[in-house]
Chain A
Amino acid sequence: MTPREHTPSAAQLRRSAYRRRQSVHSVLIAAFSTAALGTLLVVAVTGAPGWDRVRQSFLDPEIGADALPAVLDGLWLNVRLLVCCAAGALLLGLVIAVLRTLRGPVFFPVRALAAGYTYTFRGLPLIIVLYLLTLGVPGLRLQGMPSVLVLGGLALVLTYGGYLAEVFRAGIESVHPSQLAAGRSLGLTYRQTMRHVVLPQAVRRVAPPLLNDVVALQKDVGLVSLAGPIDAVRAAQIATAQSFNYTPYVVAGVLFVLLAIPLIAVTDWVTLRSARRQSGG
């Protein structure tokens, strides 16, 4: 039995041709409408009476190129801080969320402390936490005081840990109680049930909001610059103060967006995947 060569039927060929035509058609329409909108925007912005002035003070390629090395240098600090603080805040948030969802009256003080922590650090403005930790704590003159960067990172971890803890808690509480009951009835301990049954589902469900908070954190790590270190925005501010031209800020803004694109793409992909899984596709 040699397998016969597959030849699509005439109807199938017509169907594929139609589909091809349709997709070419829709790409053309999309391209045209995008071009129309783009042209409209360009005309509206560059035709504005103050466009020349804005272009000179916000889009000067020479000044942008001059500021780029310093801004990139600052961005490296942002990236390092982001990686460390994101890891720290995710871990802290998870721990706090698990503590907040412990059952049983004996754990009341633990639950109360965890709840108090999330209330406090979600309510406190980040700038104030940063000031207290980076300029207040070193004033104690204790032995082995960590560097300003470590203290600033700690302030970010504490603040964002509060947000992430609430996201994790929402995830844990969205797992149906029957899952916990099933795990327990199989003979798993509470800890094993949390570890193997509840948390995997919870984390998967809240992955998009978690990543969203990480994207927000990416912009806030730069605030440690108020304690002295030079991050990308601060480097842009210094360059702007020297040239009286805002282009360095635009350069820093573009770099931030470029840095955020991979994170946001991952977020979108995770969301899409979980949506597909939900709809059983």
Chain B
Amino acid sequence: MASRSRLLALIVAGVVVAATGCAPQKESPTPTDTASPSCAKDSLPTRTPGKLTIATDQPAYEPWFRKDKPDSGEGFEAAVAYAVAEKLGYARSDVTWTRVKFDTAIAPGEKNFDFDINQFSVTEERKQAVDFSAPYYLVRQTVIALKSSKIAGKTSLADLRGAKLGAQVGTTSYQAITDVIKPAGKPQVYNSNDDAKKALQNGQIDGLVVDLPTAFYITGAEITDATIVGQVPQVGVPEAFGLLLDKNSPLTRCVSGAVGQLSEAGTLTELEQKWLAQVAGAAELR
């Protein structure tokens, strides 16, 4: 718990330092780089003054948004979006939602939102085209199994020691098996998650380790008789989700700051607990 939010805070700090300290010198510094405007609501140059326009994809999936209704504030990402808005001083009525396709959002070009929240992994390639806030979520590895499997419904890591687990080669998921779960038998390794899913369906492995978003997608849409066993403690260098903003957006610094504060206060960890572990059923394996 505490160590997790510390890790998140550390990574946030690292990203902020990297963004400020290692940024390549811009030829013509924009005013926002030199001056440091306060992050008060009135001085924020949002698309509609006094309002905050947040984007996500249509449809928006569980457990990130519930019932494709972002404005309900239900679901992990909806909750995070409203928490960030609140930190920046916007009331719930000041937030307007808009829908933008995932691929359109990460492409360069004019944006019709202040920030977009849609499970965007922060990558160097994407940073060439858009801005990212500090990460609001570090992707966790998750064990999934068929409902008929002997490990379905298990609650501790020790219960998985005797299981035959599989993962895709060269992934953090594989590391989670070898470094954290440490099963008695050898893990099975696959070229792709598709092969691994087939093996899971065939009953050739008891459980498959994938990252949490993939786990929700597989159990929700692809293999409906599969269920999430639980989340594995953090391992390796996790993927990070960040809020997406227009390239060189004047809001990036303030939005990033708000995410950083939420992370330090432990709010993000609480929201994760509530929406991912309890509501969506991806409990923590200890």
Contact = CB atoms under 8 A, between A and B. Distances in A.
A138 B203 contact: yes
Nearest to B196: A228
Contacts of B186: 229-230
Interface string B177-221: 000000000111111000100110111110000000000000000
Given A141-B203, A228-B205, A242-B175, A135 B170 contact: no
Nearest to A241: B170
A230 B103 CA distance: 36
B166 interface: yes
B174 interface: yes
A241 B174 CA distance: 10
A139 interface: yes
Contacts of B170: 237-238, 240-242
Contact of A228 (B171, B175, B189, B201): B189
B169 interface: yes
B199 A227 contact: yes
A234 B198 CA distance: 19
A242 B176 CA distance: 12
**Chain A, interface SS category:** helix
Interface residues of B, number: 20
A214 interface: no
A136 to B, nearest CB: 8
A179 B175 CA distance: 63
Interface string A230-260: 1000100110111000000000000000000
Interface in A105-163: 135, 138-139, 141, 148
Contacts of B205: 228
Nearest to B166: A228
Contacts of A148: 188, 204
B201 A139 contact: yes
A79 to B, nearest CB: 16
Nearest to A231: B189
A225 interface: yes
Given A148-B204, A228-B205, A135 B199 contact: yes
B190 A226 contact: yes
B188 A229 contact: yes
A138 B175 CA distance: 27
B198 A135 contact: yes
Contacts of A141: 202-203
Nearest to B164: A228
A138 B202 contact: yes
A138 B189 CA distance: 17
B199 A241 contact: no
Contacts of A238: 169-170, 174, 189
Contacts of A135: 195, 198-199, 202, 204
Nearest to B205: A228
Contacts of B190: 226-228
Contact of A225 (B166, B189, B203): B189
Contacts of A242: 170, 175
A115 B261 CA distance: 73
Residue among B169, B174, B189, B195 having the largest count of chain A Cβ atoms under 10 Å: B189
A78 to B, nearest CB: 15
Contacts of B201: 139
A241 B169 contact: yes
Nearest to B186: A230
Interface string A179-216: 00000000000000000000000000000000000000
A227 B202 CA distance: 12
Contact of B169 (A138, A227, A234): A234
A245 to B, nearest CB: 13
A241 B170 CA distance: 5
A228 B169 contact: no
Contacts of B174: 238, 241
A240 B188 CA distance: 17
A225 B186 CA distance: 13
Nearest to B201: A139
A33 B191 CA distance: 46
A234 to B, nearest CB: 6
Contacts of A225: 189
A241 B195 CA distance: 19
Interface of A: 135, 138-139, 141, 148, 225-230, 234, 237-238, 240-242
17 contacts: A135-B198, A135-B202, A138-B199, A138-B203, A139-B202, A141-B203, A225-B189, A226-B191, A227-B188, A227-B190, A228-B190, A229-B186, A230-B186, A238-B174, A241-B169, A241-B171, A241-B174
A-B residue pairs, 5 tightest by C-beta: A241-B170, A228-B188, A138-B202, A135-B198, A139-B202
Given A138-B199, A139-B201, A139-B202, 12 more contacts: A135-B195, A135-B198, A135-B199, A148-B188, A228-B166, A228-B188, A228-B190, A229-B186, A234-B189, A238-B169, A238-B170, A241-B174
